[in-house]
Amino acid sequence: MQTMTKNTKYLEHKYGENYKILNDAFLHTHLANLCKAKTKQPIINYIINDLYDYLIKEIISQEFPRKQETIRTRMADLTKKGFWHGEIIDPETKAVVVDIARAGTLPSETCFKILNQTLNPDLIRQDHVYMARKTNEAGEVIGIDWSGSKIGGDKDSALVIIPDPMGATGSSISSCINHFKENVAGKEIKFISVHLITTPEYIKKMQNDHPELIVYAVRLDRGMSSEKALAAIPGTFADEESGLNETQYIVPGAGGLGELMNNSFC
């Protein structure tokens, strides 16, 4: 017999308030479909687009500044009471979306589109950085290869949003944030990374490298953890938690989304 449960909005864990892991059966259903081996193009990209459409709207609602506004509606032609008063997202908010090619390209474009629809487009920018995992002969990740970037301005007073589907080791995101801190002028309001799946390893690295980072994710995968850790609230036994196999792919995970999103397996 099926039972109905009332879930809180975010997963309960002990990683700290900066980590917003959604506890949403609808999103988990679509992400589960994405992870199935039988799911192919174009469905893969449709699902990723829809999930990031939700994620960026959640981030705008939770993280962006707001203001009180009075709007004259069409009914004002008929009655002096035809004015709406309420709270809205401040449209004069500056935001920078960072595309980490190639897995981040579609998520970044989705976020860029929604931000332009919500805020003053003159204040929205999409930047691009080009990097890839560096691996050894055993297939283990040993670093990041940078091949360039295209950054169109400063980050002063901006929210910097970095959509990357798989928050696995954290090496790419950490390197990207370092690049913006060291090479892009101005002081940002905050850095926000946005993932479909994240791991305990990713969280540990961000806590160490960039403790101010705010992280949103649809799901936490920690399938390589001990049974004791899996039975407990995430973060309780941090030293026994793992979501990565020996070649730093997420378990249970979704496979290599960069390859799957582009139908390019190299």
Whole-model pTM?
A: 0.93
184: in domain: yes
Is 12 among the domain residues? no
Does 5 fall in a domain? Answer: no
Domain that residue 214 falls in: 19-262
Residues 6 or more apart from 17 whose CB is under 8 A from it? Answer: none
Handedness of CA 64, 69, 72, 74 (dihedral sign): positive
Mean pLDDT calculated for residue range 83-94: 98
**Within-domain flag for 130:** yes
Q: Residue 93 above 80 pLDDT?
A: yes
Q: How far, in Å, CA of 2 to CA of 234, rounded? A: 25
Question: N- to C-terminal Cα distance for the chain?
Answer: 45
- Phi first, then psi, for residue 167 (nearest 5°) are -85, 85
Residue 71 has pLDDT above 80, yes or no: yes
Residue 213 maps to a domain: yes
Q: Does residue 14 belong to any structural domain of this protein?
A: no
Answer whether 145's CB lies under 8 Å from 134's CB: yes
Residue 248: inside a domain, yes or no? yes
Q: Summarize pLDDT for 138-151 with one digit per residue, the tens.
A: 666 666 777 789 99
Domain of residue 59, CATH code: 3.40.50.2020
Q: What is the pLDDT of residues 112-161, one digit of tens each?
A: 999 999 999 999 999 999 987 666 776 666 667 777 899 999 999 999 99
Evaluate if residue 236 carries a pLDDT over 60.
Answer: yes
Return the pLDDT at 133: 67
Count of domains observed in the chain? 1
Is residue 4 in a domain? no
Closest CA to 11 of 191, 200, 218, 168: 218
Asked whether the beta carbons of 184 and 154 are under 8 A apart, the reply is yes
Quick: pLDDT tens for 5-64. 555 899 999 999 999 999 999 999 999 999 999 999 999 999 999 999 999 999 999 999
Cβ partners under 8 Å of residue 63, min gap 6? 159, 190, 192, 214
